Structure 1
Amino acid sequence: MENAGQWSEKVLQMTMVNTMDQWVEESTRYSGEEEPSLLDLIFTKKPESPPIIQYLGPVGKSDHVTIGI
């Protein structure tokens, strides 16, 4: 199994090679006293205006923000 650093590098390389844009800019996970994290990604390749991303409250007892487009 790959470590997180190797996985992150592969994702970065894939986005650069395919000239993709990542649109999520705010933290999407909040867990108690831990530092918020940006875990959700939305990639596009089409040359269009950025999607309007809505950051909504979590569903149920989840610690993940719900993302709407």
Structure 2
Amino acid sequence: MDNVVQWSKEVLQLTMVNRMDQWVEESTRYKGEEESSLVDLVFTKRPVPPPIILYLIPMGRSDHVTLEI
């Protein structure tokens, strides 16, 4: 679990230093009876206009939605 915490801190630091925005707002992973989660991220440095993100059905047997940007 320590690696996950360290990775999370590094990603947060990277986004703050580079003034980046994360745009995915809906859950992107659905697996059976498990609670859905937001695990796919889209970062940009341009705040305006925000990207249009379409949440599409998974490809093949994936449990992640397909993001079209």
The answer to whether TM tops 0.5 is yes
Paired position in structure 2 for 1:7 = 7
Q: How many residues align?
A: 68
Name the SS for the 1:55 alignment partner: strand
Runs (4+) off by over 6 Å: none
Contact 2:18–2:45 (Cα < 8 Å) also in 1: yes
Q: Are 1:54 and 2:51 matched, yes or no? A: no
Measure, in 2, the Cα distance between the counterparts of 1:9 and 1:36: 23
Identity of aligned residues (%): 71
RMSD: 1.1
TM-score, normalised via structure 1 length: 0.92
Measure, in 2, the Cα distance between the counterparts of 1:57 and 1:47: 27
